[in-house]
Amino acid sequence: MFDKVLIANRGEIALRIQRACKELGIATVAVHSTADAEAMHVRLADDSVCIGPPPASESYLNIPRLLAACEITGADAVHPGYGFLSENARFAEILEEHNLTFIGPTSEHIRIMGDKIAAKDTARRLGIPCVPGSDGAVTSEKQALEVAAKMGFPVLVKAAAGGGGRGMKVANSAAEMGLALMTAKTEAKAAFGNDEVYIEKYLQKPRHIEIQVFGDGKGDAVHLGERDCSLQRRHQKVLEEAPSPALNAAQRLKIGETCADAMRKLKYRGAGTIEFLYEDGEFYFIEMNTRLQVEHPVTEAVTGYDLVLEQIRVAAGGSLSMRQEDITFSGHAIECRINAENARTFRPSPGQITYWHPPGGLGVRVDSGVYQGYRIPPYYDSLIGKLIVHGKTRNECLMRLRRALSEFVIDGIETTIPLFNELIRQPDIVNGVYDIHWLEKFLKAEG
């Protein structure tokens, strides 16, 4: 096992990782920018190193400075959290070259899944159902039209280097293909420096359902069920839940086993998420994330497993602490992302938290990196905490969520709490009837 883990992240996830390290008796090193000198993750760590000025490119993303921080503190492993360097294959490689353990998958698996064409090809070969579309990259309008003719319009042009919705264009007919191709390529080139694109059948009203997987890197792997993350705004998740209101136990078992099987064949190591679009009873692979996700506590609530602890165990060469047949799903969990933003305009609202009273009680978890008096810096993303509620049934979970939200008091800044107070009273949300477009339609209708 490791003696000392450096956490290359900030905010709530840095605290979350520190907690797992503490339970395992591992010392922690926090790194921080000058803007984060007063942050909670710095205060609670055993050691801390200032690695640069506020811009992430000069601090949390600066690999030489992170290596120096490992060197001077004697850390033997690095946990990247989510975002920042968590899916940077080169970072994983460099750490290994310096005899440091990257707490995550192999650089090879990160690289494959980062290229959406290679990821889809790999998924298909492993038996995971994919969206119908082009075999690999599309290089001409003629080829694009041939692919579209086979599956029918509308089709979606996607960037190979994409993710997060950038460089994506719909073509509703052959007449729209030329422009869709060109715009997608131009956007992809500007955003990722790579204009490679591929084509898929456009699914018009799917849900976003993702499967949590876990591997030991030696051929053993399990799935921990799904999360329904359909409630998004501009490709940012807002509320996540498990189980998905759209699935029954048999469907969960089938797609879960398909994913676990695929991860066994791949000899995948650590936590992973296989993202699907789900429409008319069918699953369609879109991407795989090779990191711990923001919404992992929803899965922890319904399975009882500590996913960060598992990540550390397998990174240290250990085996999984669970077998598939031991994993059972219990009750229902919902996560609300609490952002320092206006709940209507989503304009960031940095500043000082003058009052902080988080909710508590049975089935309520708050993961946050802030405290009363803390000044939220304007340089990073606006997630300041997550409220995760667990209940025996979806209905109990919703009742508990209403109660927990009513207890939550945050003064001095604007937060997304008022949005959740509205959402949990909407009949479609109460009934679990929503797709990936529901939230944006709701926000537009409500003005």
> Are 383 and 338 a contacting pair, CB within 8 Å?
yes
Map tokens 């007063």 to a residue. 38
Q: Is 12 in the site for ligand MV4 (CB under 6 A)?
A: no
| Nearest residue (CB) to ligand MV4, 70 versus 199 | 199
Shortest Å, Cβ 14 to ligand MV4: 26
| Nearest residue (CB) to ligand MV4, 230 versus 251 | 230
Going from the C-alpha of 422 to that of each of 21, 117, 265, 360, the distances in angstroms are: 37, 39, 44, 21
Q: Which stretch binds ligand MV4 (CB under 6 A): 72-80, 201-209, 244-252, 295-303?
A: 201-209
Shortest Å, Cβ 134 to ligand MV4: 11
| Nearest residue (CB) to ligand MV4, 17 versus 157 | 157
Active site residues: 291
Residues 142-181 that bind ligand MV4 (CB under 6 A): 156, 163, 165
Among 232, 244, 299, 415, binds ligand MV4 (CB under 6 A): 232
Q: Which stretch binds ligand MV4 (CB under 6 A): 45-53, 171-179, 196-204, 301-309?
A: 196-204
Q: Is 203 in the site for ligand MV4 (CB under 6 A)?
A: yes
Residue-by-residue DSSP string for 177-192: HHHHHHHHHHHHHHHH
Residues 73-132 that bind ligand MV4 (CB under 6 A): 131
Shortest Å, Cβ 182 to ligand MV4: 19
Binding mask 206-225 for ligand MV4 (x = CB under 6 A): --x-----------------
| Nearest residue (CB) to ligand MV4, 85 versus 277 | 277
Number of residues this chain uses to bind ligand MV4 (CB under 6 A): 15
* Phi, psi angles (nearest 5°) of residue 264: -65, -45
Map tokens 């500590």 to a residue. 306
Asked if omega into 378 is within 30° of 0 (cis), the reply is no
| Nearest residue (CB) to ligand MV4, 156 versus 340 | 156
Written as one letter, the residue type at 18 is Q
Q: Which stretch binds ligand MV4 (CB under 6 A): 19-27, 91-99, 199-207, 424-432?
A: 199-207
Those residues whose C-beta lies under 8 Å from the C-beta of residue 379, and which sit 6 or more positions away, are 33, 35, 54, 55, 56
Shortest Å, Cβ 279 to ligand MV4: 9
Q: Which stretch binds ligand MV4 (CB under 6 A): 202-210, 299-307, 308-316, 403-411?
A: 202-210
- Dihedral through CA 347, CA 351, CA 356, CA 361, nearest 10? 40
The count of other CB atoms within 10 Å of the CB of residue 372 is: 13
Shortest Å, Cβ 155 to ligand MV4: 8
Q: Which two tokens stand for residue 362?
A: 């049975």
Rounded to whole angstroms, the Cα distance separating 130 from 283 reads: 8
| Nearest residue (CB) to ligand MV4, 165 versus 178 | 165
Q: Is 273 in the site for ligand MV4 (CB under 6 A)?
A: no
Q: Which two tokens stand for residue 398?
A: 């919703």
> Are 400 and 363 a contacting pair, CB within 8 Å?
yes
Q: Is 436 in the site for ligand MV4 (CB under 6 A)?
A: yes
Rounded to whole angstroms, the Cα distance separating 172 from 205 reads: 15
Shortest Å, Cβ 294 to ligand MV4: 14
| Nearest residue (CB) to ligand MV4, 174 versus 327 | 174
Q: Is 286 in the site for ligand MV4 (CB under 6 A)?
A: yes
Residues 248-267 that bind ligand MV4 (CB under 6 A): none
Backbone torsion region of residue 422, taken as left when φ is above 0, otherwise alpha when ψ lies between -120 and 50, otherwise beta: alpha
Those residues whose C-beta lies under 8 Å from the C-beta of residue 406, and which sit 6 or more positions away, are 421
Map tokens 């000058």 to a residue. 34
Those residues whose C-beta lies under 8 Å from the C-beta of residue 329, and which sit 6 or more positions away, are 225, 242, 243, 252, 302, 303
Shortest Å, Cβ 201 to ligand MV4: 6
| Nearest residue (CB) to ligand MV4, 302 versus 436 | 436
Among 2, 84, 198, 202, binds ligand MV4 (CB under 6 A): 202
Contacts 24+ apart (CB under 8 A), 41-50: 41/7, 41/9, 41/10, 41/11, 41/14, 41/15, 41/369, 44/15, 44/18, 45/7, 45/18, 46/4, 47/4, 47/73, 49/73
- Dihedral through CA 392, CA 397, CA 403, CA 409, nearest 10? 120
Binding mask 383-422 for ligand MV4 (x = CB under 6 A): ----------------------------------------
Q: Can you give the binding site for ligand MV4, defined by CB under 6 A?
A: 131, 156, 163, 165, 200-203, 208, 232, 235, 277, 286-287, 436
